[in-house]
Amino acid sequence: MDRFTKLTGVAAPMPLVNIDTDMIIPKQFLKTIKRTGLGVNLFDEMRYNRDGSEIADFVLNRPQYRNAQILVAGDNFGTGSSREHAPWALLDFGIRVVISTSFADIFYNNCFKNGILPIVLPQEEVDKLMDDAERGANAVLTVDLESQTITGPDGGSIGFDVDPFRKHCLLNGLDDIGLTLAEAPAIDAFEAKAAAARPWA
Amino acid sequence: MSTPRTLYDKIWDDHVVREAEDGTTHLYIDRHLVHEVTSPQAFEGLRLAGRTVRAPEKTVAVPDHNVPTDPTRLEGIEDEQSRIQVEALRRNARDFGIEMYDIDDHRQGIVHIVGPEQGWTQPGMTIVCGDSHTATHGAFGALAHGIGTSEVEHVLATQTLIQKKSKNMLVEVDGDLAPGVTAKDITLSVIGKTGTAGGTGHVIEYAGSAIRSLSMEGRMTVCNMAIEGGARAGLIAPDDKTFDYVKGRPHAPKGAMWEAAMTYWKTLHSDDGAHFDTTVRLDAAEIAPVVTWGTSPEDVLPITGVVPSPEDFAGGKVDAARRSLDYMGLAPGTPLREVEIDTVFIGSCTNGRIEDLREVARIMEGKRVKEGLRAMIVPGSGLVRLQAEEEGIAAKLQEAGFEWRMAGCSMCLGMNPDQLAPGERCASTSNRNFEGRQGYKGRTHLMSPAMAAAAAITGRLTDVRDLL
C-alpha cells in the first residue's frame, strides 16, 4: 500500500448525499480480476453518455477538476456494497482524500486499506470546504495526516480525527496482513482455547 | 454480579484474539464465505506473498453474482469476464483446499442462502464475506458482516479481522403484523424511519414480539437489510425456531456435540439491563405494505401514499430527491398505486427463499401475470428451486406466467444477463434501488414478495391487501 503523509491538491465538490458504490463504480466493472485500471470508469454513469462521450457538466469532466485529488462529498458517502473496486477506482483516478459528514462503514474501512484517507467533519466545516472546492482551480487544499490538519486556500486550517492505529498504518504504508501474521502465537492460543470451549464451531 | 451484556457484546467477547490499548482488536472469524467477484484479487495477493489459507475448513466458496440463471450456463458461461471470474474461483478453491458449490451442483445458490441451508451458519459465530449482505446470517444470532477484498485476503491468511467495536443499537418491533404485511415491510419501514446512515457505527439487535413471531426466513430478510440501514450487522437472538432450522443440516453439530452447542447457544441473548447506545421502536400494527419511490432504500412509503415532492425534505436530501424523481420518471403527487411497471423480479438474498416463493404462489392463486409483463422468479438456491418444484409451486407459478430460473443473484445487481433495459420499471424483491443497479437507467421499486406478486397481477404498484 502507498503511504499517505501530506497532500496538496485540487478538491472537487460533490454535494449530493448518499453517493453509493454503484455510482462510484457500476457493477459491469466488477468483473475484473485486477485491482488497477478502474479510474477511467470512476463514476461511469454520471460521467459518460452511453456512446462513451463525456457529460460536460459532471464535476470531474470540468477542466478545473480533471486532476482533482480530493473529493468533498455529501453525507453518507460510499453507502451500499462492499466492493473494494470503489476505492480502487478512486485511487486509480488519483483521489487520495475524501471528506464528508459521514461514510458507510465498509467503504470507510476499504479506503484505509488502499492509502486513501477518508475524513469525517461536522456539517459546517464540510459546507465551508465545499465552498472552497466550488472555487475550482483555486480550491487547493493541503491535507497533513501527521498534524491532522486541512489547510484551505485562504490559509485557515481545521483539525480532524483519525484512529491512531489506522493513522500509523497509512503514514507508513503498512501491510496489515504482515502485522497480523506476527501475532500468530496469539491466534494459535485462541484457536486452542476456542476448540475446547466451542469444539463444534 | 457481572455487568449485563448485549448479544453483540457476548459474541464479540468470545472472539477477541488480542485487544490493543486503544481498542483495536483482532477478532477471530469462524466462517468465511467467498464468491467470485470480490475474491480473485485476494487470492492473487496470497500467491504473490507466498501465503496460504490458514483455515480452509472454515472457508466456503460459491459463485453467485455473475452466473447466468438460464440452464445453458451448464454448457459454459458465454460472457468472457464472468467465465474468467468463475474459473478463477474454481482454481482458487482447488489450490487452497476450499469446499466449493459449483454452478452444476444442485446446492449452488446465493452465498447467503447456501450458508444457512448447509448448516455452515450457526448461532454465536463470527461470519464474514466480501459482500455487504452477509448481515443476513445475523438472523441466527451470529455476528455477520461484509468486508472488502483486502479484508478477505486478511481473513484468508490469518482467520482474523482487525476491528474496533461498534455501538449497540436496539430495534424493537412489538405487536402483530396485519395481513399482507411481512418481514420485508418491517425492514424497509425501519430504514424509512432511521435513514440509510441511521445505523452507521452500530450493530443492530432486532427484538420484540413481531420479530420473534417471524420464521427464520423472515428473520433473514430483516437482518439482510441491516446494511441498507447503515449498520455493520444485524442480529436476532437465537430461539427454538433457530435451533430447529439448524438441526440436521449437513454441517450442523451432531450428537453430543449438538447438546454442547445448545447449552452455549441458549446463553446467546442480551441480558436484562444491558446497555444499548441507541433504541428505535416500531409498532408492528402500524406497519403497512411499503414500496420505495426513489433511488435510496430510505425512500420508503406505504403503498397508500403519493410520490413526494423534493420540498418535502430538508438539507442535502432536497437535491437528492429531485435527482431521484427525475431518474425514476415520477411526478410529485402521483398516487403510488398508479405507477405502472414493466418487469417483476422475485428473488435475491433478501427474498429468494422457499417461504417467499410460497407467499407469491398464495397471492397468485387463481390469477395470472398481466399480459405483456416480464415476470421472473429466481430461487435463491438449487435446493430452494427443487423444494418449490416438489411442492408444486414451480408448476403453478409457471402456469401463471412467471419465468422459472436457475439460482443466482440475477437481476438484484445485473452483473449477469438478467438486467433491466433503460427506462424499464421493475417491482423487485431485492435490496437496492440505486441508479443503474438492475441495469443502466433501470428503475427499481423495492417491496415484499407478496407486493411484487400483486404488482405482477395488475401491472402497476398495488396494495396486496386489496387482493387478499
Average pLDDT over residues B251-256: 98
Give the DSSP per-residue string, B408-461.
S-GGGTTSSS--PPTT-EEEE-SS---TTTTSTT-EEEE--HHHHHHHHHHSB-
Question: N- to C-terminal Cα distance for chain A?
Answer: 34
**Which residues does chain B have within 8 Å of residue A199's beta carbon, measured at their own beta carbons?**
257, 260
For residues B141 and B129, give the distance between their C-alpha atoms in angstroms, rounded to a whole number.
16
- Residue A82 is nearest to which of B148, B201, B315, comparing CB atoms? B148
* Rounded Cα distance, B170 and A171, in Å: 37
**Structural domain range at position A101:** 6-197
Number of inter-chain CB pairs under 8 A, A vs B: 195
Task: Tell whether A31 lies on the interface with B, counting CB pairs under 8 A.
Answer: yes
A28–B contact, CB cutoff 8 A: yes
Please report, as a single letter, which amino acid is at residue A9: G
ipTM (interface pTM):
0.96
B147 lies within 8 A of chain A by CB: yes
In a domain, A64, yes or no: yes
Evaluate whether B367 touches B400 at the Cβ level (below 8 Å).
yes
Question: How many Å apart are CA B287 and CA B296, to the nearest integer?
Answer: 19
pTM for the predicted model, two decimal places: 0.97
- Are B30 and A201 in contact (CB < 8 Å)? yes
Q: What percent of chain A has pLDDT over 70?
A: 100
pLDDT of residue B433: 98
Residue with cell 460536460: A56
> Quick one: which of A114, A158, A171, A18 has its CA closest to B149?
A114
Q: Which residues of A touch B20 (CB under 8 A)?
A: 165
Kindly state whether residue A34 falls inside one of the protein's structural domains. Answer: yes
- Helices A85-93 & A105-112, crossing angle to 10 degrees? 50
| Interface contact flag, A17 B317, Cβ < 8 Å | yes
* B360 min Cα distance to partner chain A (Å): 27
Cβ contact B200–A16 (<8 Å): no
Q: What is the pLDDT of residue A154?
A: 84
Alpha-carbon distance B217 to B350, whole Å?
9
| CB nearest to B157's CB, from A76, A181, A199 | A181
Q: Which helix (H) or strand (E) holds B347?
A: none
For B302-353, the pLDDT digits (tens) are 999 999 999 999 999 999 999 999 999 999 999 999 999 999 999 999 999 9
Interface of B with A in 301-330 (CB under 8 A): 315-317, 319-320, 323
Question: Tell me, what's the pLDDT at B431?
Answer: 98
Q: Is A68 within a domain?
A: yes
Got the DSSP string for B254-300?
A: -HHHHHHHHHHHTT-SPPTT---SEEEEEEGGG---EEE-SSSTT-E
Mean pLDDT of B361-389: 98
Q: Region B96-121: what's the mean pLDDT?
A: 98
Q: How many CB atoms lie within 10 A of CB B331?
A: 10
Convert the pLDDT of each residue in B185-228 to its tens digit: 999 999 999 999 999 999 999 999 999 999 999 999 999 999 99
- Secondary structure element (H or E) that encloses residue B115, with its range: helix B111-117
pLDDT of residue B1 exceeding 70: no
Query: Which residues of chain A does B27 touch, with a Cβ-Cβ cutoff of 8 Å?
Result: none
The cell numbers describing B124, all together, are: 454465536
Maximum Cα interatomic distance, chain A, rounded to a whole number of Å: 63
Confidence at A2, pLDDT banded by 50, 70, 90? confident
Contact B197 A200 (CB under 8 A): no
B153 contacts A177? CB cut-off 8 A: yes
A100 at interface of B, judged by CB pairs closer than 8 A: no
CB spacing of A199 vs B296 below 8 angstroms: no
The answer to the question of residue A127 being in a domain is yes
With 80 as the cut, is the pLDDT of residue A16 above it?
A: yes
pLDDT at B467: 96
The pLDDT tens digits of the residues spanning B141-157 come to 999 999 999 999 999 99
> Is the confidence at residue A137, as pLDDT, over 80?
no
Q: Please, are residues B101 and B122 in contact by the beta-carbon 8 Å criterion?
A: no
Q: Do B197 and A27 touch (CB under 8 A)?
A: no
Sequence-separated (6 or more) residues with CB below 8 Å from residue B456: B344, B364, B369, B370, B373, B375, B401, B402, B427
Using CA atoms, how far residue B340 sits from B276, B457, B458, B460, B461, in Å, is 43, 12, 9, 4, 6
Distance from CA of A2 to the nearest CA of B (A): 14
Average pLDDT over residues A134-148: 90
Q: Report the CATH number at residue A11.
A: 3.20.19.10
Chain B residues 56-115 with CB within 8 Å of chain A: 65-66, 79, 81-82, 84-85, 88
Coil, strand or helix: which one is A129? Answer: helix
Which chain A residues contact residue B150 at CB under 8 A? Answer: 84, 110, 113-114, 176
- By percentage, how much of chain A surpasses pLDDT 90? 94
Closest CA to B152 of B135, B132, B168, B167: B132
Question: What is the distance, to the nearest Å, from the Cα of residue A201 to the centroid of all Cα atoms in its chain?
Answer: 36
Tell me if A99 is assigned to some domain.
Answer: yes
Q: B158 at the A interface (CB within 8 A)?
A: yes
Number of domains chain A is built from = 1
Question: What are B272-310's pLDDT values in tens digits?
Answer: 999 999 999 999 999 999 999 999 999 999 999 999 999
A81:B122 CB<8 A: no
Residue A76 in 3-state DSSP? coil
* Residue A51 included in any domain: yes
Q: What is the pLDDT of residue B2?
A: 85
In a domain, A1, yes or no: no
Separation of alpha carbons A154 and A26, rounded Å: 37
Closest approach of chain A CAs to the CA of B272, in angstroms?
A: 24
A187 CA: distance to closest CA in chain B (Å): 6
Residue A101 resides in a domain: yes
Distance from CA of B269 to the nearest CA of A (A): 17
Whether residue B306 contacts residue B335, with contact meaning beta carbons closer than 8 Å, is answered with: yes
Q: pLDDT tens across B409-466, in order?
A: 999 999 999 999 999 999 999 999 999 999 999 999 999 999 999 999 999 999 999 9
CB < 8 Å to A45, chain B? 435-436, 440
- Average pLDDT in chain B: 97
DSSP 3-state percent helix, strand, coil across chain A (nearest 5): 40, 20, 40
